[in-house]
Amino acid sequence: MKLRHKVFLIYAFLAVIPMIAITNFSYLRYRQATYQRMTDFSDTLAENARTQINDNLRSLRRALDFLTFYSDENEESMIETMRSFAERPGEYTSYEILQAQKYCDPVFQNLMYTNAMIRGIYLILPDGLIIGNANEIYSRINHLHNCCEDQWYEKTVALSGSPYISTFTAEDMFTDDKPSVYLAKSVSDIYTHELLGVILMDCDAAFLNLDSANGLPGLALISVMNSTTSETIYSNVDSLPAGQMFTDNLHKAELTIAPLVLTTSFHYDTLYREFNPSGMLILLIALVCIAIELILCFFVTRGMIRPVESLSWSMSRQKKNGLKFISPYMKRTDEIGTLYNEYARMLEELNDSIHKNYRSKLILLDAQMKSLEARINSHFLFNTLESINSMAEIAEEKDIADMSLALGNMFRYAIKTKSELVTLADELKHTMDYVSIQQIRFGGRFRLVTDIPQDLMQEEVLKLILQPLVENALYHGLNYCAAGDTISVTARRSSDTLLLTVSDNGQGMAPETLARVRNDLAREASFTELGHRSNQSIGLTNIHTRIELYYGSGYGLAVESTEGNGTVITIRLPLIRAAAHTEVH
């Protein structure tokens, strides 16, 4: 087994075992806290449900008491109204009933408007007469129905003034079959204790709906029962899974209206699953922490031997990227730092040696070039050309005079210009000297057309880039004036770029020739081997290489050509304004 694997296993064991122990202890404590939390939650839910339904019942009971003791400014009360009918059953007139209805309607309407739980209010007399009203959107008691024969009426009378609350069922005494809950209270004469009738309030079943107090409707059973008759008035059992039983943490509480009892119970196993995601989160976090620890152990183990691996990798990369070596390990003061610094010092010495050798070769190349230049006695050449020019003028040989003058200018420009950068005007003048010689040679069978704005004439360009292109256009494009007769040189500005174009109307290039030229231009610019010269040293590739080496990538030549339709070569250069004319001697 490798040392890295051994160290990894030791670190992993030391990190994971304590984490497992801590996780187990935390999870057990969390389970205990969860059960306590569920107990507190169930107690709170039961108390909230009891408070809510008691508030609703108290509100309805106050409405019943209000109706029992209500009287207007004429000291007429509901009891007086009921007494007037109860004392002479069946002997009252329709007008008296209408007057009683007119008296009761405002009172009933006010109660229904102020208490949204009340759907209708009715006075039911012992002889079956019904005086009352209901909200327009709900059903009302059928006046042809004899409520005195119903069981609820008998139960209400038997309670002797205590409120009676019905179950949540549909009663045939209402004009529709929708389930409802109603409260009833018998009213007796305070002097004779004779029954005067029953006050009935038809209520919206929502006042018994405890869904708002039940935070876990699928896990808690809440019911309201009549402890005397064992009738279930309300239950949320319809919202629970079929057959589900609740036996955990049973709560029973008596309500404001006796003998109503509120019962709440919970299914702790299901409730625990609702709370358990936090426990699962603890386990998940523990697993993530273990995974992170294992990852950290891996990186720590890897870091112990990483410096040696990094050094090996750096040594293998030197042959690809040159002799460069920078590493953060060089700042270390231990054996690793010593190793890295010694290796960096060795590379630095080797790099210095290579640079010295390279500079020596460049110096040798420069010496060879200067030696070659020295072989041509420039003064002798210029004096000779001027003598030829003078003799030709004396002999009135204008062509010879022009050719010798142009040739002298060309040599002087090529050899004696002080800088590699010249103005576009000087470069164009050098090109015109070349063209004047060739026009004499070819008897004026071709022409050079220039279109260069005057404001671009003082822009600096690299020396000897236009004339070779015009020469290529004459020899390869026009085919020595056999395939065309016009060469054009244009210049224009594009943002911060100078675009020079040399085009001809000659024979153009075949597709394979154009592809080969473009491939040559796409090669990376570099110096030729010492002692070797390319056959195209003054051609397109040479010009493109010089431009790219001088200005950087993005500048150089672009070639467009169609066989039989001529060639267009575009030179892309940065705009550089010359401070003064380049001196030419």
551: domain CATH number is 3.30.565.10
**How far, in Å, CA of 224 to CA of 254, rounded?**
10
In a shared domain, residues 431 and 567: yes
Q: Is there a domain that residue 203 lies in?
A: yes
Asked if residue 513 and residue 485 are part of one domain, the reply reads yes
Q: 452 with 426, same domain?
A: yes
In a domain, 538, yes or no: yes
More confident residue, 278 or 428: 428
Pairing of strands 486-494, 447-451: parallel
Q: Are residues 473 and 330 in the same domain?
A: no
Q: What is the pLDDT of residue 446?
A: 93
Q: Are residues 134 and 171 in the same domain?
A: yes
Write out the two tokens for 408.
């002298």
Q: Of the ranges 182-196, 331-345, 441-455, which one carries the lowest mean pLDDT score?
A: 331-345
Where residue 506 falls among pLDDT bands split at 50, 70, 90? very high
Distance CA 513, CA 286 (A): 70
52 belongs to a structural domain: no
Give residue for tokens 């154009």: 514
pLDDT exceeds 50 at position 242: no
**Confidence (pLDDT) at 532:** 40
Give the number of domains in the chain.
Answer: 4
Whether 523 is covered by a domain: the verdict is: yes
Please indicate whether residue 508 or residue 420 has the higher confidence score (pLDDT).
Answer: 508
Q: Which segment, 15-24, 61-70, 401-410, 491-500, is predicted with the most confidence on average?
A: 491-500
Domain identity same for 127 and 169: yes
Task: State what percent of residues in the chain have pLDDT above 70.
Answer: 77
- Local structure of residue 529 (DSSP, 8 states): P
Looking up tokens 């694997």 gives 5
For residue 84, give the nearest of 64, 95, 66 by alpha carbon: 95
Is 581 a domain residue?
Answer: no
What CATH number does the domain containing 139 carry? 3.30.450.20
| 15, burial (CB in 10 Å: exposed 0-12, middle 13-18, buried 19+) | middle
Residue 16 lies in a domain: no
Domain identity same for 431 and 562: yes
Classify residue 61 by burial, with Cβ atoms within 10 Å: 0-12, 13-18, 19+: middle
**What is the pLDDT confidence band of residue 583, given thresholds at 50, 70 and 90?**
very low
pLDDT for 247 equals 54
Among 84-98, 130-144, 253-267, 473-487, top mean pLDDT goes to 473-487
Task: Please give the average per-residue pLDDT across 487-508, as a whole number.
Answer: 94
Which of 28-42, 253-267, 308-322, 401-415 bottoms out in mean pLDDT, i.e. has the lowest?
Answer: 308-322
Q: What is the CA radius of gyration of the chain?
A: 56
Chain-wide mean pLDDT for the chain? 78
> Residue 9 has what pLDDT?
81
**What six digits make up the tokens of 116?**
């949204």
Among 165, 193, 208, the domain-final residue is 208
| 369 — pLDDT class (breaks 50, 70, 90) | low
The answer to whether residue 31 sits within a structural domain is no
- Residue 482 CA to residue 491 CA, distance in Å, equals 27
Instruction: Tell me, yes or no, whether 469 and 404 share the same domain.
Output: no
Element at 344 (helix H, strand E): helix 335-375
Q: Which residues pair with 211 in a beta bridge?
A: none
Are 458 and 350 found together in one domain?
A: no
Do 503 and 545 lie in a common domain?
A: yes
Whether residues 427 and 567 share a domain: the answer is yes
pLDDT (tens digit per residue) in 28-67: 787 777 777 777 877 888 888 888 888 888 888 888 888 8
Structural domain span for residue 438: 420-574
pLDDT bucket at 376, cuts 50 / 70 / 90: very low
Residues 353 and 491 in one domain: no
Strands 181-188 and 248-254: unpaired
In a domain, 3, yes or no: no
**Among the ranges given (337-341, 412-416, 443-447), the one the predictor scored with the smallest mean pLDDT:** 412-416
